[in-house]
């Protein structure tokens, strides 16, 4: 097959029988088309007849593959995307989860759509990530990235915290609440949406700040240009340890008096869709917008 991709990496949902079956079908399908196939090591054990030299770490897969296929739900896609965004590798998903906003292909009949993509007939999007840094006494203590959102919160459920928010060193508000969700357009249909945040279409260069149960009725979500830098200064009055969660996967510890800096990351995720992909169709389907009102 004449294709813009030569080496394809497979990433799956560990210990999931359905994902394992889809990975096996993908592996057989891609080899039959003549592609070089490598498999992420943690999930490679679910496949048969994969040589050891084709089982690689996720970072090595990002360095070697032209296209990565993620089998699982949005959580699996997010975990892989945070790493793969460092490399110029295209990423597409096969949905083996629940909602699947980021995983387009149907596991029951992915072959025709995937073959179309492999022939070069696809839609490509660049999705930006957030870079999250925690400073203590002006010293960087920890950092990570987020595809969906960075969430400042207490390490206890329903526990109020106090902080100040700045945009580019310009004071915006002080707040007592359960926390704050800082979301990308990609994450605007995830935790942010559940918290009452706006849906941001993927092409927008914007981030949203969504308060979590604020101790005032006047506090509302705020959308700002993504080239701005968000700074959250934690009050010394906070008595408990705090956290910043990145995509609900990575947790950075925060102490009273720390400063959290959230900004757009330099690297972007290359997300691949089949040619018939429509973001608004995804919204209608996943959010059940197409149902009758009466």
Phi, psi dihedral angles at 104 (to 5 degrees): -85, -35
Contact assessment for residue 10 and residue 23, using Cβ atoms and an 8 Å cutoff: yes
Active site residue 60: no
Rounded to an integer, the average pLDDT of 76-93 is 95
Q: How confident is the model at residue 16 (pLDDT cuts 50, 70, 90)?
A: confident
Phi, psi dihedral angles at 97 (to 5 degrees): -115, -140
Contact assessment for residue 152 and residue 179, using Cβ atoms and an 8 Å cutoff: yes
245 assigned binding-site residue: no
192 assigned binding-site residue: yes
190 assigned binding-site residue: yes
pLDDT of residue 15: 81
CB atoms within 10 A of CB 236: 11
Q: Return the structure tokens found at 151.
A: 């969430």
Chain segment 176-211, per-residue pLDDT in tens: 999 999 999 999 999 999 999 999 999 999 999 999
Chain segment 207-225, per-residue pLDDT in tens: 999 999 998 888 999 999 9
Instruction: Answer with the residue of higher pLDDT: 210 or 18.
Output: 210
Domain spanning 5-120+274-285: which superfamily? Probable inorganic polyphosphate/atp-NAD kinase; domain 1 (3.40.50.10330)
pLDDT of residue 294: 65
Chain segment 128-171, per-residue pLDDT in tens: 999 999 999 999 999 999 999 999 999 887 789 999 999 998 99
Q: Please name which of 39, 123, 130 lies closest in space to residue 78, comparing C-alpha atoms.
A: 130
Q: How confident is the model at residue 43 (pLDDT cuts 50, 70, 90)?
A: confident
Q: Which of 49, 74, 121, 240 is catalytic?
A: 74
Rounded to an integer, the average pLDDT of 9-15 is 90
120 assigned binding-site residue: no
194 assigned binding-site residue: yes
Q: How many Å is the Cα radius of gyration of the chain?
A: 20
238 assigned binding-site residue: no
148 assigned binding-site residue: yes
The answer to whether residue 293 scores a pLDDT higher than 70 is no
Per the prediction, the chain carries an average pLDDT of: 93
| Range(s) within the chain of domains with CATH label 2.60.200.30 | 128-265
H-run or E-run covering 78: helix 74-84
Helix axes 17-32, 111-118, angle to 10 degrees: 50
Highest CATH level, class, for 128-265: mainly beta
75 assigned binding-site residue: yes
Contact assessment for residue 147 and residue 127, using Cβ atoms and an 8 Å cutoff: yes
| Range(s) within the chain of domains with CATH label 3.40.50.10330 | 5-120+274-285
183 by Cβ neighbours in 10 Å (0-12 / 13-18 / 19+) ranks as buried
189 assigned binding-site residue: yes
Task: Specify the pTM.
Answer: 0.94
């Amino acid at each position: 097959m004449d294709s813009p991709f030569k080496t394809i990496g497979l990433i799956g949902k560990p210990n999931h029988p359905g994902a394992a079956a889809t990975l096996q079908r993908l592996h057989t399908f891609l080899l039959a088309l003549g592609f070089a196939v490598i498999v992420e090591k943690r999930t490679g054990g679910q496949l048969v007849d994969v040589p050891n030299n084709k089982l690689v770490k996720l970072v090595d897969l990002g360095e070697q593959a032209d296209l990565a296929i993620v089998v699982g739900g949005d959580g699996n896609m997010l975990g892989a995307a945070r790493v793969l965004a460092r490399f110029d590798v295209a990423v597409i998903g096969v949905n083996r989860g629940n909602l699947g906003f980021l995983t387009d292909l149907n596991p029951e009949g992915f072959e025709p759509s995937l073959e179309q993509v492999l022939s070069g007939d696809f839609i490509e999007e660049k999705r930006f990530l957030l870079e999250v840094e925690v400073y203590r006494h002006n010293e960087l203590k920890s950092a990570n990235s987020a595809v969906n959102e960075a969430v400042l919160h207490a390490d206890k459920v329903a526990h109020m915290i106090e902080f100040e928010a700045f945009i580019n060193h310009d004071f915006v508000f002080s707040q007592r609440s359960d926390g704050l969700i800082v979301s990308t357009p990609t994450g605007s249909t995830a935790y942010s949406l559940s918290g009452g945040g706006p849906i941001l279409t993927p092409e927008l260069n914007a981030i949203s700040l969504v308060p979590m149960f604020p101790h005032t009725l006047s506090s509302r979500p705020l959308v700002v240009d993504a080239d701005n830098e968000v700074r959250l200064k934690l009050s010394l009055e906070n008595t408990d340890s705090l956290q910043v969660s990145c995509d609900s996967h990575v947790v950075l510890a925060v102490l009273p008096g720390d400063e959290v800096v959230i900004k757009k990351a330099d690297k972007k995720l290359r997300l691949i869709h089949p040619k018939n992909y429509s973001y608004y169709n995804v919204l209608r389907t996943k959010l059940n917008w197409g149902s009758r009102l009466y």
